[in-house]
Amino acid sequence: MVDVFEQVEEELRSDRYKRLARTWLPVVGGVLVLALVAALSWWGWQSYQTSRADKASLSYDQGLEALQGGNSAAARIAFERAAKEGNGAYKALALTQQAALAEAANNLPEAIKLFDEAAKASGDPIIGDQARLKAAFLIMDEGSLEDIQARLKPLTEEGRPLRPFAQEALGLALLQHGKTSEARDLFVLLTLGQDAPDDVRQRAQAGIDMIDGGSAASLKAIVDAQKALPAPQAPAAQPAPGASAPAAQQTPAQ
């Protein structure tokens, strides 16, 4: 009699397992298939990104070699190819080099546009802010004070990697537009700032001395006179300044 009960219990247990299997095996199988597809997709995406980075790196190095050899035309082609092939840092660096070539050719609107594109291309704050700072310097003589401030003020916020350089540039812009009091206040902050490099503090102190000595009052008239002069002719093809190292490793020109 006990054997009969055990047999019935085994049959009930077997039926229960079969029902569970019919219910959950398709679900488990689907989850495993989705996991496999996701893993393969991730691997494919990573391989694609690595391939793009390798191609961009090769093109970028070719551009630097062309610059060192004095072949601006070949460098421009290589950097354009690197910008198309790469993304992130390589794209931003290639666009920055293109902007430097445009600046050397006295094509400032194109240089500003390329610096702006470089700033948007990279998530690296150092690369992005350096491109933004260079673009701000290029519009400093032609743009309005409002435009310059709109570009520089975000770079002067706490925690931005090039904050002292942006503060210095903003002070120069204020001085150039006759805002000597505001410029002096900013230069004083720079001389007291612990995060400002020594050369920036020294230049800020020189700016304060110039303001206090009265010589800064003539700066705006000098700049206005310079704006009235004919634009210089584009120089012969030559390497962009500082092309011996990636742009992200260069100190912003003052």
Per-residue three-class SS string for the chain: CHHHHHHHHHHHHHHHHHHHHHHHHHHHHHHHHHHHHHHHHHHHHHHHHHHHHHHHHHHHHHHHHHHHCCCHHHHHHHHHHHHHHCCCHHHHHHHHHHHHHHHHCCCHHHHHHHHHHHHHHCCCHHHHHHHHHHHHHHHCCCCCHHHHHHHHHHHHCCCCCCHHHHHHHHHHHHHHCCCHHHHHHHHHHHHHCCCCCHHHHHHHHHHHHHHHHCHHHHHHHHHHHHHHCCCCCCCCCCCCCCCCCCHHHCCCCC
Structural domain spans, the chain: 52-124, 140-229
- The whole-number average pLDDT for the span 125-146 is 91
**Among candidates 177, 175, 186, which has minimal Cα distance to 210?**
175
pLDDT mean over 137-157: 92
Quick one: pLDDT at residue 36?
A: 56
Interval 151-199: pLDDT, tens:
999 999 999 999 999 999 999 999 988 899 999 999 999 999 888 999 9
pLDDT digits (tens, 9 = 90+) for 213-252: 887 765 655 445 544 545 444 334 344 444 444 444 444 4
pLDDT (0 to 100) of residue 112: 95
Who wins on pLDDT, 22 or 230? 22
CATH code of 52-124, in short, is: 1.25.40
The answer, yes or no, to whether residue 26 has pLDDT greater than 60, is yes
pLDDT tens track for 41-94: 554 545 545 556 677 788 888 888 998 898 989 999 998 898 888 777 888 999
The mean of the pLDDT values for the chain is 77
